[in-house]
Chains A and B, each alone.
Chain A
Amino acid sequence: MSDLKLNRSDVMKKIMAVRNNALVITGLGSPVWDLAASDHRPDNFYSWGGMGCAISMGLGCALAQSDKKVWVITGDGEALMGLGSLATVAAQRPSNLAVIVLDNEHYGETGMQRTHTSHGTDIAAIASGAGIQTTMTVNNPETLEGLTTALTSGLLPMVAVIKVAAGKPNLILPSRDGVYIKNQFRQAVLGATEAMHSS
């Protein structure tokens, strides 16, 4: 089994093929375009800011929507800024939360500077050390198959780090209007009446 860096567009297509009714919250940057390109729908929450908060947003949503799966799809730079939230997830043990880190070892939005993961930092090992029992590193087609199986039927919470190639993406941009993105997500999850008149 050779280790290689996967193509993020191919990875997203494979993951989204097993999404079913999972709610998805992204970190800022490339995961936004990745998700918009692969599975644009109302129950996507696209983050355009708040770096370091994607995992804690996912936790809040997972606790509120315990009957549905919640996936956080984020990048290595964003995850590195909120590492403490992995310990918080471990303490809560939400059985419906998966954190998927698309790790290209670079800060894609600021000029492709190297992140800590290019210097040896292992986010899956940090998640494991934080107390999250299911962690995996995906760096070839076989382990990607393992991830899609785990997302469908594996034990959650889970943190999966997918090693992807760095490169210029095709930009598929969703709305940047945070109020719209929030309300659209709530309407999709809660229905129009509850979304606008919270009980």
Chain B
Amino acid sequence: MPDAWTAEAHRLFKEFNIKTVGYVPDAGLTDLINSCEADNDINAVVMTTEEEGIGLSAGAWLGGDKSAVLMQSSGVGNTVNAIASIITSCQFPLFMIVTMRGQYGESNPWQIPMGQAVAPVLKSLGVHVFEVETDKEAAEAIEAGLKMAFVSNAAVAVLIGQKLIGAKSFIADVAEEVTHV
């Protein structure tokens, strides 16, 4: 079974007629990426860097399609100029789901600085930021964010908190065996 917030996100993508979903993978996005990839009515676009997602979203809008961009918190750092120069300058709609690292219970110290910078950086660019920590909050914020982005022509990021997706001990999750030297 996919995460509850993920199933709701995919249902809302359909309700809001989201046609293109650009993503750079994150563990917390796995179920949502899989459901978008399996959906023949959605162009699921794997990207080499999150910056591409901003261009992709703006280009989709130029062609009349709505889109969503999925990324991990560290990827927000790769989107800064594209958001400022394209989205904010031209008042393009933008809808992002960001799964957070560097927050509650993080075990990789290199994730913490960018994780802490995500909300203030996005706000400084004119993006409306909704921070959520439960399935219910996530579903409500995704619905509110999609409406705000595509009806009110706004830039919105829903930050899925580490308390919701879990602060995984990431090395132990991918390795057979762990030895420290």
Interface residues of A (CB under 8 A from B): 23, 25, 45, 47-65, 70, 82, 84-85, 87-88, 91-92, 178-179, 181-182, 185-186, 189-190, 194-195, 198-199
Contacts and interface: CB of A to CB of B under 8 A. Distances in A.
A56 B63 contact: no
Contact of B48 (A25, A64, A88, A92): A88
Contacts, number: 136
Interface string B133-161: 00000000000000000100000000000
Contacts of A199: 17
Contact of B51 (A52, A65, A182, A198): A52
Nearest to B60: A60
A54 to B, nearest CB: 7
B55 A198 contact: no
B89 A84 contact: no
A48 B58 CA distance: 14
Contacts of A45: 62
At the interface, is chain A mostly helix, strand, loop or mixed? helix
Interface of B: 17, 19-20, 22, 43, 45-49, 51-67, 81-82, 85-86, 89-92, 150
A59 to B, nearest CB: 6
Given A50-B81, A182-B90, A198-B150, A60 B58 contact: yes
A55 B52 CA distance: 9
Contacts of A47: 86
A198 B60 contact: no
A141 B22 CA distance: 39
A82 B52 contact: yes
B67 to A, nearest CB: 7
B62 A49 contact: no
Given A91-B46, A186-B62, A189-B62, A56 B52 contact: yes
Given A50-B82, A85-B48, A25 B91 contact: no
Contact of A198 (B49, B66, B85): B66
